[in-house]
Amino acid sequence: MAKKILTEHINVPGIETFDVYRKQGGYTAVEKAIKTMTPEEVVEEAKKSGVRGRGGAGFPMGMKWGFLAKPEGVPRYLVCNADESEPGTFKDHHLMKSIPHLLIEGMIISSYALGANKSFIYVRGELMYVIRILEKAIEEAKAQGFLGKNILGSGYDLELIVQPGGGAYICGEETALLESLEGKRGNPRNKPPFPAVKGLYQSPTVVNNVESIANMSWIINNGGDAYAAIGIGRSTGTKLISASGHIEKPGVYEIELGVSVEEFLNSDEYCGGIRKGHHLKALVAGGSSVPILPAHLIMKTANGEDRLMSYESLSDGGFATGTMLGSGGFIVFDETACIVRNTWNFSRFYHHESCGQCSPCREGTGWMEKVLHRIEHGHGSMHDVDLLVDISKKIEGNTICPLGDAAAWPVASAIRHFRDEFVWHITNPHEATQPGAVYRGEMELA
Amino acid sequence: MTETPNLVAFTPERLEKVKEIIARYPEGRQKSALLPVLHVAQEQWGWLNSEVMDYVAGILSIQPVEVYEVASFYTMYHLDPVGKHVIEYCRTGPCCLMGGEDVYGHLKQKLGVEAGQTTADGLFTLKEVECLAACGWGPVFQIREQFYMNLTNDKVDQIIEDLSK
Ligand SMILES: Cc1cc2nc3c(=O)[nH]c(=O)nc-3n(C[C@H](O)[C@H](O)[C@H](O)COP(=O)(O)O)c2cc1C
Ligand code: FES
């Protein structure tokens, strides 16, 4: 069995309660950090661990903490990003509902490290039942002296607030999240200034993903070096992967970074293989925003090396032949899946979720959806394929926040790797629009 | 239909809850309470009409337009009357891979309404939403706080029957 850092105790009955969590060694990391370490020493352990942001961008967490401005007399904030809305991603949902104290414990340690006395967990509003679970856990921790005034007699005060969103993917983008937390529309801010300097209420702020923060208990208990010893190269530690689509066992799995894609997909410890009687056609490895890969580029890189579940290996080959680990939303497509239909579905998502601030994104996502809709519904023309590529290029890099890129990449990559399938839809509109019709031309399956 | 809000005031318990929410934020930052307070309002009235939004603006000492622009930006707030049960089904890729389109088609047929519509008896409103962070357990829909997962036509029939009682 591979190393488990986040999910070791997740199936212990009653683990959502303080007592059971505590019996499994919970909150010892808070005691260790607050009683025996300075905030700087906690930051140092985070740096040593090499843990990278698990929200999608993979930025080293300790380094981000090091950038936090500390002007005298100005409060600092820690905000946990639990907006989890990237299609294919459901790991934070799973973690928070199953073992809420792991996040609460991580929030206390991280807030102490950053000198924050009021910290927020921003949870997408649809997960109201999870918000209630977290609020209950916070009450329990408070009753035991791990939260509130003068924690464990140290003189350190911390209040934790769970904030619901209102339903908007864009609020996962950290500056849109801060706007939303201030009670406004989720329009991303221009950067600079970065949140580390001017974030929530114009004060220095760190925003980190649920999973990133949840790692802190283990890191404090075992040391940053021990964490860095797990994983492979600069992909240290473990990662929660949300596996969905045409596999035997969809679900959330904790992997040691560096396990091969083949093992993750086919072993019974994880996905259990493609569903019986079917074959792998395509994979989105890191949430809907990352480039889709065809079967022949999934298990092996273009150089013929084993493809691994790590930041580096998944991006090997750049966008020409690689993809990204992203948020770890692992979506599997077998030969019954229509790439055109899925691409249209994703483009509709981005169009729906664009905040509307930047013209290239607001207009471009609408055009991509419209063109994909007509191809999927048998009204496309050959010119449309290049038109889509052209629109995606005009969005990419031309927007305030990366939602534009996230909308462009799935479309550009689907055309890059599955152009024949788009062309087939255009040249065989009658056949392609039959219910359940899927392109079965020349294509490598695995 | 849920009753139209006319006597616009939170119940005493909800008002208490709202005051608690407002007190969480630093001095002068009470606007941060807007999203959570709108959720409480929707819990009471089922949807948000302009009277309710004006009332919330008054409680938070902000302009009504600040409430309208937020309520209209986020998808969870209903700006029109809804049925007793709002069924919010996920239409995004992974749920569709798991047969979502068929199941939702069955749901629509069963209720005799399309997305965005309410059944004639006012019991159900159908609403199409994007990914609900439950993709491995799809197809999925949500009714208030409850998630219904791994949906099949049979499960849908059962859920609708239970809620129709
Ligand atoms: C459109 C968009 C949506 C995002 N959604 C999320 C999200 O749901 N959860 C998350 O943690 N990060 C999300 N991010 C990334 C955040 O902006 C930010 O990088 C992250 O919360 C930082 O935390 P980390 O370094 O611990 O990953 C999103 C980014 C973009 C551009
Ligand atoms: S795609 Fe339906 S919950 Fe994510």
Interchain CB contact of A331 with B (< 8 Å) = yes
pLDDT for the residue numbered A444: 66
A 205-224 near B (Cβ less than 8 A): none
Beta-strand relationship, A118-123 and A293-294: unpaired
Q: Give all domains of chain A, ordered by start, each with its CATH number.
A: 18-228 (3.40.50.11540), 239-334 (3.10.20.600), 339-432 (1.20.1440.230)
Question: Smallest Cβ distance to A166: which of B24, B38, B142?
Answer: B38
Burial of B27 (0-12, 13-18, 19+ CB in 10 A): exposed
pLDDT for the residue numbered A1: 61
What stretches of chain B adopt beta strand conformation (E)? 85-90, 124-129, 141-143, 146-148
Burial of A444 (0-12, 13-18, 19+ CB in 10 A): exposed
Query: Residues with Cβ within 6 A of ligand 2?
Result: A 87; B 90, 92-95, 131-135, 138, 140
pLDDT for the residue numbered A386: 97
Interchain CB contact of A342 with B (< 8 Å) = yes
Amino acid code (one letter) for A180: S
Q: What is the mean pLDDT of residues B31-53?
A: 97
Q: Are A231 and A258 in contact (CB under 8 A)?
A: yes
pLDDT for the residue numbered B26: 97
Q: Are B115 and B127 in contact (CB under 8 A)?
A: yes
Which numeric CATH code is attached to B85-164? 3.40.30.10
Q: What is the mean pLDDT of residues B4-17?
A: 85
What region does A237 belong to: left with phi over 0, alpha with psi -120 to 50, or beta?
left
- Asked if the domains at B12-73 and B85-164 fall in one CATH topology, the answer is no
pLDDT for the residue numbered A368: 98
Residue with tokens 């579940």: A309
> What separation in angstroms does the CA of A40 have from each of A44, A223, A287, B104?
6, 14, 34, 53
Q: How far is A342 from chain B (nearest CA, A)?
A: 6
pLDDT for the residue numbered A443: 65
Which numeric CATH code is attached to B12-73? 1.10.10
> What separation in angstroms does the CA of A47 have from each of A40, A204, A290, A426?
10, 19, 27, 52
What region does A47 belong to: left with phi over 0, alpha with psi -120 to 50, or beta?
alpha
| Ligand 2 centroid to residue B97 C-alpha, Å | 10
Where along chain B do its domains lie?
A: 12-73, 85-164
End-to-end alpha carbon distance in chain B: 16
Q: Are A347 and A365 in contact (CB under 8 A)?
A: yes
Ligand 1 atom nearest the C-alpha of A213 is: 26
Using a CB-CB cut-off of 8 Å, the residues of chain A touching B129 are 126, 167
Here the tokens at position B41 are: 């309002």
Give SS3 for B2: coil
Q: What is the mean pLDDT of residues B120-147?
A: 98
pLDDT surpassing 60 at residue B1: no
Do A244 and B70 lie within an 8 Å CB cutoff?
A: no
Question: Residue A288's closest chain B neighbor by CA?
Answer: B93
Ligand 1 atom nearest the C-alpha of A124 is: 8
The pLDDT profile of chain A, 446 residues, written as one tens digit per residue, is 678 999 999 999 999 999 999 999 999 999 999 999 999 999 999 999 999 999 999 999 999 999 999 999 999 999 999 999 999 999 999 999 999 999 999 999 999 999 999 999 999 999 999 999 999 999 999 999 999 999 999 999 999 999 999 999 999 999 999 999 999 999 999 999 999 999 999 999 999 999 999 999 999 999 999 999 999 999 999 999 999 999 999 999 999 999 999 999 999 999 999 999 999 999 999 999 999 999 999 999 999 999 999 999 999 999 999 999 999 999 999 999 999 999 999 999 999 999 999 999 999 999 999 999 999 999 999 999 999 999 999 999 999 999 999 999 999 999 999 999 999 999 999 999 998 899 988 766 76
Q: Are A284 and A243 in contact (CB under 8 A)?
A: no
**Ligand nearest to the backbone CA of A208:** 1
pLDDT surpassing 60 at residue B6: no
Percent of chain B with pLDDT over 90: 95
| Ligand 1 centroid to residue A404 C-alpha, Å | 14
Can you give the pTM of this predicted structure? 0.97
Q: How many CB atoms lie within 10 A of CB B7?
A: 6
Does an H or E element contain B16, and which?
helix B12-23
The three-state (H, E, C) secondary structure of B46-88, written as one string = CCCCHHHHHHHHHHHCCCHHHHHHHHHHCCCCCCCCCCCEEEE
Q: Is the CB of A200 under 6 A from ligand 1?
A: no
Using a CB-CB cut-off of 8 Å, the residues of chain A touching B35 are 125, 163-166, 180, 183
pLDDT for the residue numbered B4: 52
